[in-house]
A and B are shown apart, each in its own frame.
Chain A
Amino acid sequence: MTTHPRTLFGKVWDAHEVLRREDGASLLWVDRHLVHEGSHHAFAKLAERGLPVAEPALTIGVVDHYAPTRNRDRINDPDIARMIRTLEENTARHGIRCFGMRDPRQGIVHVMGPEQGLTLPGLLINCGDSHTSTHGAFGALAFGIGATEVAHVLATQTIWQKRPKTMRITVTGQLGPSVTAKDLALSWIAQLGADGARGHAIEYAGPVIEALSMEGRMTLCNLSIEGGARCGMIAPDDVTFAYIQGRPYAPSGTAWDAAVADWRALTTDAGATFDREVTLDGAAIAPTVTWGTSPEEALPITASLPDPANLHGARADQARAAMDYMGLTPGQRIEGTPVDQVFIGSCTNGRIEDLRMAAAVLAGRRAKVPGLVSPGSALVKAQAEQEGLDRIFTEAGLEWVAAGCSMCVGMNGDLVAPGKRCASSTNRNFKGRQGRGARTHLMSPAMVAAAAVTGTLTDVRPLLEGRV
């Protein structure tokens, strides 16, 4: 019997389809449902209907969005305290395991899940957070959902979805020195647009992807949503299996061997077709920074800003509005722009490898501007401290704090003041994202560290020469 060649995405989708309605909507089984403080709307919807949680064992709670990064023993803001308490109470009431404020495994949901072995190849993973695409790095089908859908998954462990189109981004060659998955992601989004992959499930492939660590793959898949994609996926390989093996919730013994045998089949078959194919040259990617208020407004650090006078219609309006908000001048060089502060952390770039790279830049150097380093999880924090990275950050003059979403979204009170410019390893440079009037430049953790050292947006490559 010959079977129709399928994509990685197609295989995982098909394995979760409970049924398909006549109108084309599929009901999909959800293997892992991650909830956080923001899930309060969904728990309230469930309570209104008097419904139980269908699969408490497959639901996992974690405190991250509102987690204070300092003085955790006494939370002064009553709203923040209430949000955290509400999650801890909701999960306890429904018998859901929760990595709460005092749990040594607490961290950002997209850092903690993989770290605990909750994220595995071939799983369908949902979370009421757009950066759920992160987990696709393991060959999981993982996507963010809204509160109504969160309530639906809580109540039924399933979700209605229309099958998205497929798109493969193949990255050939190899990345240059000090060029990271973050630069690759910002670079494709700048090329295709913040809605360039709208309605598509992306598969990342090619030698550059195969050479990425799991941390790098997570960064890349995490940012899929910033290019509008429904999800991003990478076929699991030995790098993936080596990362997972031995993690607390990963299978072990003979179950491990059986699982790996299954997971090895999670690749795109020869002859399978995609709705869209894009190929990028890895060697052509430079350290990249955003200059505007959408992730698509990104440039190589060596480039100059566009001039709206040379653009037309809506594009010209957009560029003008972005430069006005960001306090930048048409045509200016992006390198050398003074920054007021830096931030290293987030579900995009708060993992151990990110901290190592930033520390490699900062070792023996002083930051010219203040900054915050918030590891992605309490375990990343412990690991970094064991490696002495915390001392490199603090000796450079940066503040080393506890784990959470922190200054990426500012819900916990870690904010950038109005008009201040922040070099940030996060995922969104939206207006007001890091605080009202805050000016965010997205870049890799190494580039953030370089900005700290010089006090300006800087090409990290000379600073890292001979260090990595």
Chain B
Amino acid sequence: MAGFSIIEGPAVALPQDNIDTDQLIPARFMSVPRKDGYGPYLLHDLRFDDSGTPRPNMALNRHPDARILVTRRNFGSGSSREAAVYALVDFGIQAVLAPSFGDIFASNAVNNGLLPARLPEEQIEALIARLGEGSAVMTVDLTDGVIRIGNEVIPFDLDPIWRLKLINGWDDIDMTASHGTAIAAFRSERAKSAPYAMLPQET
């Protein structure tokens, strides 16, 4: 995964609380292999009516070129399904701005190069009011930890560990490979100090 420090593109508002991962990707689409793409299923039941017709007023139908989502608290709460992040990323979303995120979702997001940026509720509400039903070009600067819209510069909150990971495009399996010796030593100590933690190999 390539690292990045700047995201620039149209931002749209999705003024709802608690957009959970079941809404982001309904369970019935989750057996799809990743290579087939998850973009068409993003927020499927909000974007499409029962007959599969796009709802014209839904923000992402009005602005299919959206790159940045501004939304309300507890975004991505619920299930650990990483497919929720695949759906956002495959649709073209690169950053989500919200007062809070589900912990597992935020971690999944960072693992897929999607930025979960936290802003205070007042800032989010101001952005939602400013964007209304339209869209506006926004720049998210990971290095400085700010978003820029018009003449405004607004700081956002992101765990420093995640910031570095996104900027450098680090892959955890690669990072961990360099600690093989420490892991092997730990395992052997664990087997001695907590023998109940080990299990026999399946035969």
Decide yes or no whether A27 CB sits under 8 A from chain B: yes
Interface set of B (CB-CB < 8 Å, partner A): 15-18, 20, 22-23, 26-28, 30-31, 33-34, 45, 50, 72-74, 77-83, 85, 100-105, 107-108, 111-112, 121, 125, 159-161, 164, 172-173, 175-177, 179, 182-183, 186-187, 190, 193-202
What residues of chain B lie closer than 8 Å to A262, measured between beta carbons? 194
Q: Does A307 contact B (CB under 8 A)?
A: no
Contact of A15 with B173 at beta-carbon distance under 8 Å, contacts A144-B104, A146-B108 already known: no
Q: Point out the residue from A29, A51, A57 that lies within 8 Å of B200, measured CB to CB.
A: A57
* Contact yes or no, B202 A29, CB < 8 A: no
**CB interface residues, A 18-35, toward B, < 8 Å:** 18-19, 21, 23-25, 27, 29, 31
Q: What are 8 pairs between A and B in contact, CB < 8 Å?
A: A38-B81, A96-B202, A144-B104, A148-B172, A151-B173, A156-B173, A160-B172, A199-B103
Q: How far is the CA of A21 from the CA of B182 in the complex (A)?
A: 13
B101 surroundings in chain A (CB, below 8 A): 198
Contacts of B100 in A (CB 8 A): 195, 198, 228
How far does the Cβ of B37 sit from chain A's closest Cβ, in whole Å?
Answer: 13
Which A-B residue pairs are the 5 nearest by beta carbons?
Answer: A146-B108, A148-B111, A147-B82, A146-B82, A97-B202
Q: Is the CB of A430 within 8 A of B23?
A: yes
Q: Which residues of B contact A96 (CB under 8 A)?
A: 202
- Nearest chain B CB to A335's CB is how many angstroms away? 25
Given the complex, which residues of A lie within 8 Å of B103, measured CB to CB?
A: 164, 198-199, 228, 230
Asked whether A326 is an interface residue with its Cβ less than 8 Å from the other chain, the reply is: no
Q: Within the complex, what minimum Cβ distance (angstroms) separates A121 from chain B?
A: 9
Number of residue pairs spanning A and B whose beta carbons lie under 8 angstroms apart: 202
Given contacts A24-B161, A120-B196, contact A431 B45 (CB under 8 A): yes
Q: 1/0 contact trace for A78-98 toward B, CB 8 Å?
A: 011011000000000001110
State which of B82, B105, B107, B201 has its C-beta within 8 Å of the C-beta of A56: B201
Instruction: Name B26's closest neighbour in chain A (CB-CB).
Output: A432
Inter-subunit contact B195/A255 (CB<8 Å):
yes
A130 and B79 in contact (CB under 8 A), knowing A19-B182, A44-B33, A251-B195? yes
Cα distance, A96 to B199, chains bound together (Å): 11
Does the CB pair B179–A27 fall under 8 Å?
yes
Contacts of B175 in A (CB 8 A): 160
Q: Evaluate contact between A162 and B201: CB separation under 8 angstroms.
A: no
- Our pick among B16, B80, B121 for the contact of A321 (Cβ within 8 Å) is B16
Q: CB distance B198 to A57 under 8 Å?
A: yes
**Nearest B residue to A231 by beta-carbon distance?**
B103
In angstroms, Cα B79 to Cα A411, docked, is 13
B15 touches A148 (CB 8 A): no
B199 to chain A, nearest CB (A): 5
Contacts of A250 in B (CB 8 A): 196
Per-position contact with B for A256-270: 1 when CB-CB < 8 Å, else 0?
Answer: 001100100000000
Interface residue? A375 (CB, 8 A): no
Kindly provide the distance from the CB of B169 to the nearest chain A CB, expressed in whole angstroms: 13
